[in-house]
């Protein structure tokens, strides 16, 4: 999750916003990461680099609470019917009674539909990379593995819930550790 978009912490009031408001904003804009099955370690929160001024302690504490809330909420996404629906659509072809249009336009339409379902079902895990480190190879491997197992394992929906529980637990641990 970038600190420029969708969370621009340079805007007035964002760093001091209530964590629940930030999570609601991310959920409403479909930008909440899916962190199921991902261990998250939040480090360096509130650390600044020159020429940035140091953050006051209350802002640093709230910033930690914001990121922790995002991690916990993202893990909870794994338990929703919305996630299960999109995951099921990724795991199956067209409905048995559904006829696909012939030709390039039909193939394009089906591909876009399938791609959207798969993108929606993995959006949270993919967005986790912004919090865990976009170029962190361990995070990339973990996200890739979690998405693959959700898609290919016979019990993908149960795996999604299990990874959601693991992410939520990691978020709670991070919260306790930060306090």
Q: What is the pLDDT of residue 2?
A: 53
> Cis peptide leading into 6, omega within 30 of 0?
yes
CA distance 174 to 179: 9
Measured between its terminal Cα atoms, the distance across the chain in Å is 22
pLDDT tens per residue, range 93-112: 666 566 777 888 888 888 88
Rounded mean pLDDT of the chain? 75
Is pLDDT at 83 greater than 80 in this prediction? no
pLDDT > 70 in the chain, percent: 74
Q: Are 31 and 6 in contact (CB under 8 A)?
A: yes
pTM (whole model) above 0.85: no
Is pLDDT at 5 greater than 70 in this prediction? no
């Amino acid at each position: 999750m970038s600190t420029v978009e969708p969370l621009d912490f340079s805007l007035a009031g964002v760093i001091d916003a209530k964590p629940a408001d930030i999570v609601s904003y991310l959920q409403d804009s479909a930008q909440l990461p899916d962190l199921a099955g991902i261990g998250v370690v939040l480090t360096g929160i509130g650390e600044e680099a020159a020429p940035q001024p140091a953050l006051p302690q209350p802002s640093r504490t709230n910033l930690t609470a914001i990121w922790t809330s995002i991690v916990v909420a993202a893990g909870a996404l794994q338990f929703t019917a919305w996630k299960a629906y999109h995951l099921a659509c990724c795991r199956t072809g067209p409905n048995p009674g559904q006829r696909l249009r012939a030709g390039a336009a039909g193939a394009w339409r089906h591909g876009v539909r399938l791609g959207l379902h798969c993108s929606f079902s993995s959006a949270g895990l993919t967005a986790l990379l912004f919090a865990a480190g976009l170029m962190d190879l361990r995070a990339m491997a973990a996200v890739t593995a979690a998405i693959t197992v959700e898609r290919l394992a016979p019990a993908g929906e149960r795996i999604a819930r299990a990874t959601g529980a693991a992410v939520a637990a990691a978020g709670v641990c991070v919260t306790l550790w930060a306090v």
